[in-house]
């Protein structure tokens, strides 16, 4: 059992997220409107079922590609979907070390699919639609640029409303992308984001699930929080259920985030914190714990967020309750490679 009760900590107001695995300060977050666009109501999604009793601990880390970094761009859903795609290709076995182009997927979503052309945001549905219908190239064909285009890259990219779509895609693919192999996945489906449903899907298929939803700054120990954050929890990758103060503070500047769930731990316990950043105790002075977390692969690089996670640098643990209440979940399936 993993159990955490901390008696001392370092409080900071900085965080992280830069090129493929390097962290940068204060990760750029996703447009919540784009991230949740078209997401069905949880009540309309059937619960996944399984004849397998889910174990107390489960992980698919051995079937993951390296942790990447989205850098200074708000494209976490793109990275979450590419992480899912690489994971599924590893499971399928055709590519032993898949590395697909996030840059190309961002362009394909906005130009080929036509989704969210006036922002950097997207979501798993449109990402998988682009991959299913059009395919994406490998990273070597169009490497990722961790910085958004500015006016120095293109005079039209001045940060104002009404920028052309190329300002959100960092231009168009290089000529060699036309003839490059396009890799595909099934478009997949939304699944009910309840804890039991996600576990059932994962044990049935032995596959990860992409989730995305509301971002709570203190819960993530993000530098944009107006409340104290916990640097130790940041390094361990802990994301607790938000307290009431965090809900109120975060609602003033809505944002979203998307990650790939790759496991869970029913027995992991982490001490709760209040809006002032203090560890929560009961009337007898005993620590009040949050128990039960999903393991996730993040897109904020290595060496900072999750750097002390025993499951791997750049991985995190997110509260079951957080996922069930504030996130949507989407899955795909193994590719059919000819």
Q: How far is Cα 185 from Cα 134, in angstroms, rounded to an integer?
A: 10
Task: Look at residue 9 in the predicted model and tell me its pLDDT.
Answer: 35
Q: Is the pLDDT of residue 130 over 60?
A: yes
Per-residue exposure over 89-105, b if at least 16 CB sit within 10 Å of its own CB, e if not: bbbeeebeebbbbbbbb
For residue 153, what are its two tokens?
Answer: 């890259």
Task: Look at residue 24 in the predicted model and tell me its pLDDT.
Answer: 56
The architecture in CATH of the region 3-331 reads Alpha-Beta Complex (3.90)
Stretch 177-185: mean pLDDT: 98
pLDDT 10s digits, 254-302? 999 999 999 999 999 999 999 999 999 999 999 999 999 999 999 999 9
- Candidates 305, 113, 85, 319; CA nearest to 198 is 319
Output the pTM of the full model: 0.93
Query: Tokens 């900590």 label which residue?
Result: 9
Other Cβ atoms less than 10 A from the Cβ of 148: the count is 18
Q: How far is Cα 279 from Cα 251, in angstroms, rounded to an integer?
A: 23
Beta-carbon contacts of residue 283 (< 8 Å; ≥ 6 apart)? none
Q: Is the pLDDT of residue 64 over 90?
A: yes
For residue 283, what are its two tokens?
Answer: 């009337």
Determine the longest span between alpha carbons in the chain, in angstroms. 68
């Amino acid at each position: 059992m993993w159990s955490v009760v901390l008696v001392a900590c370092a409080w900071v107001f900085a965080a992280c997220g830069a090129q493929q695995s390097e962290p940068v300060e204060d990760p750029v977050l996703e447009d919540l409107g784009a991230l949740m666009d078209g997401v069905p109501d949880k009540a309309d999604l059937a619960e996944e079922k399984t004849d397998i009793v889910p174990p107390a601990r489960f992980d698919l880390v051995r079937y993951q590609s390296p942790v990447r970094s989205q850098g200074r761009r708000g494209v976490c859903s793109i990275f979450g979907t590419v992480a899912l795609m690489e994971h599924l290709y590893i499971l399928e076995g055709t590519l032993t070390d898949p590395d697909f182009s996030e840059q190309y997927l961002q362009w394909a979503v906005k130009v080929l699919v036509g989704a969210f052309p006036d922002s950097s945001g997207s979501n798993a549905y449109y990402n998988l639609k682009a991959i299913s219908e059009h395919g994406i190239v490998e990273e070597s064909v169009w490497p990722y640029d961790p910085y958004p285009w500015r006016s120095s890259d293109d005079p039209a990219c001045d940060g104002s409303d009404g920028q052309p779509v190329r300002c959100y895609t960092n231009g168009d693919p290089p000529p060699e992308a036309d003839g490059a192999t396009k890799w595909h996945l099934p478009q997949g489906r939304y699944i009910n984001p309840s804890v039991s449903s996600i576990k059932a899907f994962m044990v049935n298929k032995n596959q990860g699930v992409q989730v995305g939803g509301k971002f709570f700054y203190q819960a993530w120990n993000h530098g944009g929080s107006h409340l104290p954050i916990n640097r130790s929890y940041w390094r361990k990758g802990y994301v607790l259920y938000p307290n009431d103060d965090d809900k109120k503070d975060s609602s003033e500047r809505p944002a979203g985030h998307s990650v790939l769930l790759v496991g869970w731990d029913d027995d992991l316990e982490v001490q709760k914190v209040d809006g002032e950043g203090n560890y929560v105790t009961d009337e007898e002075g005993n620590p009040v714990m949050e128990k039960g977390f999903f393991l996730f692969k993040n897109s904020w690089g290595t060496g900072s967020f999750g750097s002390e996670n025993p499951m791997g640098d750049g991985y995190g643990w997110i509260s079951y309750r957080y996922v069930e209440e504030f996130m949507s979940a989407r899955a795909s399936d193994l590719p059919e490679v000819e």
